[in-house]
Chain A
């Protein structure tokens, strides 16, 4: 019941903002208004930030029925970029992402549970390094509306923490570096 009210409130808010129906969105890859970033501890002393430069995806979004939304993203693991040629080469090797064997990672949502006015838990299947596991993203709706160029956009961000060993990545980076945080933001153009 509470969930329903939240959804209704969210829907109402969006209506007030001049919103529309459920629609399919294409992630704005050309305009680079989307990024898949990660951070991992270095020895427990600092963070390494990296990103995947090459990914694409779609989502459907209906502010009046956010639970019915869905998202699908495909990412090229070889596009990993931590601004360090030799480290990136190592990350692409079989010690980590094994991009020769597993060139793509995918995320496909399976369910969305609203947790606040514009926050949700997005459950989905993440395939990484050839291993598929359910993960939960803490997602946030940021905003939507007309853009200045005749299109219509909606955007979100999301975070989650992955245990590397869950995805068969067992290279020993030390106890502080067994998990990696994903920090994702996407903006989609309504199709």
Chain B
């Protein structure tokens, strides 16, 4: 499997980013919800936010690579068997998810940096605060972070249902070409 996207399938860079980040989205959201519910005497009270923020920073870096890669190596064309409505719905969901992910990482950063503190990356170094002191910055950024994260989970759920529908009901290549699997009825590589 090639690293670039082809006209038929995603390359390994795009599929790796997609699956690694999908696991991170679920993990970060779960940890985020859990850590904000911890009581003061939980052993995780300070360490869970530390890990959430560090992994969130890695996620932000991967997101930049992903958006750049999306631009440098365009996604394969939609399958001809997909209807116009399906294409529009899928495309809209995808771009909404990119936008949500981008705003979620920015808003998360703005919560932590609201009073000018940096964000530690695994204790190696601090990513400095660039924007702080906006009116009610931590609260507003926190609300955006929370609701968009829930929205992203909802979109990701729809996105997954759509992929499963194509895979199990339509039995087409939608999911296979994101999994690096052999394509059905393919002429790829002479098959």
Contact = CB atoms under 8 A, between A and B. Distances in A.
Given A83-B115, A86-B49, A88-B115, A174 B40 contact: yes
B40 A85 contact: no
A4 interface: no
Given A172-B41, A174-B40, A85 B136 contact: no
Nearest to B116: A85
Contacts of A86: 49, 111-112, 138
Interface residues of A, number: 12
B39 to A, nearest CB: 6
Nearest to B136: A78
A89 B136 CA distance: 9
A85 B41 contact: no
Contact of B139 (A84, A89, A171, A172): A89
Interface in B25-41: 39-41
A11 B49 CA distance: 57
B137 interface: yes
Contacts of B138: 85-86, 88-89
A7 to B, nearest CB: 46
Interface string A65-107: 0000000000000100001111011001000000000000000
B137 A85 contact: yes
Nearest to B132: A85
A85 B39 contact: no
Interface in A101-158: none
